Structure 1
Amino acid sequence: MNAFYNKQGIGDVLLVQLQTETPEKIHAEQFGDVTLIKDAEGEIAGFNLFHASAYIELAESDKVEVSEALVTALQNALEKNGVDYTLEVDLSPKFVVGYVESKEKHPNADKLNVCRVSVGTEELQIVCGAPNVEQGQKVVVAKVGAVMPSGMLIKDAELRGVPSSGMICSAKELALPDAPQEKGILVLPEDAEVGSAFEVGA
């Protein structure tokens, strides 16, 4: 789940995205202060909560941090407006320390590598174009569902025919202060704990 709020830009409306993919065909249903946005199969892709500040304490920032308190407040708001839907939200960190288990050349692209990256609870296959990625490194992984500081949403993808789940990040992509301008991923110290959360810049 991702949530966005910009009172100056769009008014007192909280935009909640529940699916990583934006559906091509959508239709909306109104329940009081809640507009449900459904995909072609009738699944709820997201919803807009109008008069949001009456339900939730919100700062004036675009990206709202998804927390247990926010999910509870949203669930209450849905129920108050007669929406029979239970929010199931993965609150695990989306930016984590990963360990590059292996690196192989991409079969269809000279400048890409296919990496197997352990993030503690699981191993991900990530296609990476950074020139400095190597087996044995500890790196920052943006998992599927992460929203980058640029606003880009990380989705499952296929790069030149090879599936990729997540992204190995550079300091610049993470909006870290004094990030180098040259291309290349951020390599973490040896003592970084695989699977632990990584704090991203704003």
Structure 2
Amino acid sequence: MSGLLAVAVTALGGGADDAVAQWVEEPGKGWIALAAYHQDTRERFGIDGDTRVFFAEGHAVTTSSFLTAALGLVPGFDMWSQFSFHRLRYDDVAGTRSSTGFGDARFWLRAAPLKWLGSAVPFAVRAGFKVPIGDFDVDAEVIPLGDGQRDWEVMAEAGHSFWPRTLYLSGWVGYRWREENPESGKDFGNEVFYFAQAGGRFGRWGWKVAVDGWD
């Protein structure tokens, strides 16, 4: 089992209702979020989850951005999409390789079944898929920008707001079916994944603690 713990502190504007629990978007309403990540490392994870130094003085630098959007379709249903753009570089004693371009794209449809029964419990079911963008070249001198195969996944989501306190809890657990890469013949294997977060605000400052993992 692998996991990642993240802690974030941000300066926020707006009212205290920014901290309410996540819910399915109303028809015609939605949001767009842009996230950017940067990693500079000389280590990698081994097959058992331990960290190992890259062979031949390897050095990997990754800069990625993810554009995520959600839009309410009809009462109780919304749609999500996510597009990625990457700049990858790897250096070792043999030289430098780099790739820049769009990565895999993801799409989901989310429903709130309890809302149809008149319940205010924030529970939703989301199903979606990942599609590879661009070519996947099996070449030691080319760094692929994606996995080169499709994923299918379904997850259950829940959340809770402690309003009027600016505290909230939310998260999901799901299962992902991963197809084999037809170019490399690599089978990533299916996996269970989860995400949980807690957050709140102190005046203009917001905080969030999140745990992300898979098995």
| Coarse TM-score class (shorter-chain normalised) | under 0.3
Higher relative contact order (CA 8 A, sep 6+): 2
Q: TM-score, normalised by structure 1?
A: 0.24
Query: Which structure dedicates a bigger proportion of its chain to strand?
Result: 2
Query: Which structure dedicates a bigger proportion of its chain to helix?
Result: 1
